[in-house]
Amino acid sequence: MKDVAIYAMPGNESFARVLAGLVECPLQRLLIHRFPDGEQLVTLDGPLSGKSIVIVCSLKRPDAKLLPLLFAADTARDLGAREVILIAPYLCYLRQDARFRPGESVSANSFGRLLSSWFDGLIAVEPHLHRLPSLCAVYTIPLRSAHSATATAAWIAANVTDPLIVGPDTESAAWVAQIAGRIGAPSVVAHKTRQGDRQVSLELHVPAAYAHRQPVIVDDILASGQTMLAAIGALVKAGFGSPVCIAVHGLFDGIGVDELIAAGAGSVVTCNTVPHASNAIDVTPAVREALGDLLDELASRR
């Protein structure tokens, strides 16, 4: 793409490098220097003037990343960028989308206003929406959601024989059906009850006709791992062995791949939205398509 330059916040270099290759634009250096007192200095290699600047930053554990990210956006604009776009393969602060108790912050709204004031456009992969109908409810800038279903279905088709796609809760039903439909596989969805942040139970019924199939659990986020553990347990109890576990966003907060394997998983695979050794599903083609579409919209607004 003409007049586009991509920058990677630290830790996002691999994703940004692949994306830059697909976009056919330069991956330019972004450096962060931390002073002894903890303050940070951001430096962007040029040229930037007149360009559409794309900053790639997956927002797992976002608080420490936020200030240098905003400094990078402000510096790009100060050095003449035509527009500044954030690609957040994993987008945070979507959990607290309502005020459940008096005095609580609605951080989804606050974070949406913050990013909307610093960036001209935003792309996220499979944003984890609960009660929000779409990101447009909290962001006021042009948005694109890049989807992982195509890449996930292709990985399953290439690596799993006779798959049975398993969704761990009703929220995953539409996504599970889409993946299953792409590869002509059956699917089932469990009913989940959450008693707390780290306590989950599942009810799962698998028709006898699927007994010979290889179960593939697919979920959008693997954080504490309790939902995935419950799904593994339900499948093992139903007589299935070694389910394949797939997550779009592998956060692995308090759980590791080894623990999932010890619980009965055959393998654990994630998309490359959050850098991790389990990354095996590449969603950069979907992000590249979303970026092209977003740049076209921004160009039409000039």
The answer to whether residues 213 and 236 belong to one domain is yes
Q: pTM of the entire structure?
A: 0.94
Q: Would you state the pLDDT for residue 298?
A: 96
Q: Is the dihedral of CA 170, 175, 178, 181 positive or negative?
A: negative
Q: Are residues 228 and 178 in the same domain?
A: yes
Q: Which CATH number covers residue 256?
A: 3.40.50.2020
Same domain? For 53 and 135 the reply is yes
What angle (nearest 5°) sits at the alpha carbon of residue 211, between those of residues 205 and 215? 75
Q: Give the per-residue pLDDT at 161.
A: 96
Question: Domain check: are 218 and 107 in the same one?
Answer: no
**Total structural domains within the chain:** 2
Residues 114 and 16 in one domain: yes
Same domain, 137 and 162: no
pLDDT in the model for residue 98: 76
| pLDDT of 198 | 61
263: in domain: yes
Residue 126: CB atoms within 10 A of its CB come to: 23
Instruction: Say how far apart CA 167 and CA 218 lie, in whole Å.
Output: 6
Query: What pLDDT shows up at residue 174?
Result: 82
Residue 141 shares a structural domain with residue 155: no
Same domain, yes or no, for 294 and 261? no
Mean pLDDT in consecutive groups of 10 residues from the start of the chain, 302 residues:
93 98 96 96 95 98 96 98 98 85 88 97 91 85 96 98 93 88 95 70 88 95 92 92 95 94 96 97 98 96 82
Domain around 191: 149-271
User: Is the same domain home to 159 and 186?
Assistant: yes
On whether both 137 and 157 belong to a single domain, the answer is no
Tokens matching residue 141 = 């800038």
* pLDDT (0 to 100) of residue 245: 97
Beta-carbon contacts of 158 under 8 Å, excluding residues fewer than 6 positions away, are none
